[in-house]
Amino acid sequence: MALLNILHYPDPRLRQQAEAVSGVGAAEKKLVADMFETMYAAPGIGLAAVQVNVPQRIIVIDVSEDQSQPLCFINPEIIRRDGEEQMEEGCLSVPGVYEPVTRYESIRVKALDRDGRPFELDADGILSVCIQHEIDHLDGKLFVDYLSEMKRSRIRKKLEKLKRQTL
Ligand code: GNR
Ligand code: NI
């Protein structure tokens, strides 16, 4: 296993459109294992492959308090969406920033699991929010894109300054 480097906004590689995975083999399974390790170490409740500079449609999530509910979604698709809900979001690629975002309240998702087997799952609450946040990453989208241009530009300047200071 290995810890992967997480890209930070405004890195242009976070804008990559991820490609569908054509088969789940040894390389994909290793990537999934490394993504879980990286997410738990961060710590975070979700991680999309684009965040570790792999433009493939792979997501890992665990919203439990004790790392007991690992979920992997390969080629995820939202097949049902209902209601709206606002929740405070954060992102490992936008460290230190938390802002409310409105998303679908409940969804049904279709995907392949880490062994390549198809499954469907109903989600609401934080799991629903997290799945939508991660699928956005696979399309090169970040939660700051839902904020005003003024807020986003303030966040970009803050993170650019932070980066300069650590170089
Ligand atoms: O760790 C994370 N917490 C979180 C909190 C509210 C809404 C979404 C998230 S996802 C985030 C990890 C991350 O950046 N995944 O892409
Ligand atoms: Ni994120």
Q: 133 C-alpha to center of ligand 1: Å?
A: 7
Q: Is the pLDDT of residue 167 over 90?
A: no
Q: Which residues contact 158 (CB under 8 A, 6 or more apart)?
A: 96, 97
What is the C-alpha separation between 9 and 133, in angstroms, rounded? Answer: 15
| 36-46 pLDDT, tens digit each | 999 999 999 99
pLDDT at 162: 92
Number of Cα atoms under 13 Å in the Cβ half of residue 63? 10
**Is 160 tagged catalytic?**
no
- Tell me what the pLDDT averaged over the chain comes to: 97
Mean pLDDT calculated for residue range 64-88: 98
User: What is the three-class DSSP state of 34?
Assistant: helix
Please tell me whether the peptide bond between 43 and the residue prior to it is cis, using omega within 30 degrees of 0: yes
| Ligand 1 pocket by Cβ (under 6 Å) | 44-48, 51, 89-93, 129-130, 133-134, 137
5 CB-contact burial (10 Å; exposed 0-12 / middle 13-18 / buried 19+) = exposed
Residue keyed to tokens 């405070």: 88
Query: What tokens appear for 95 in the block?
Result: 């460290």
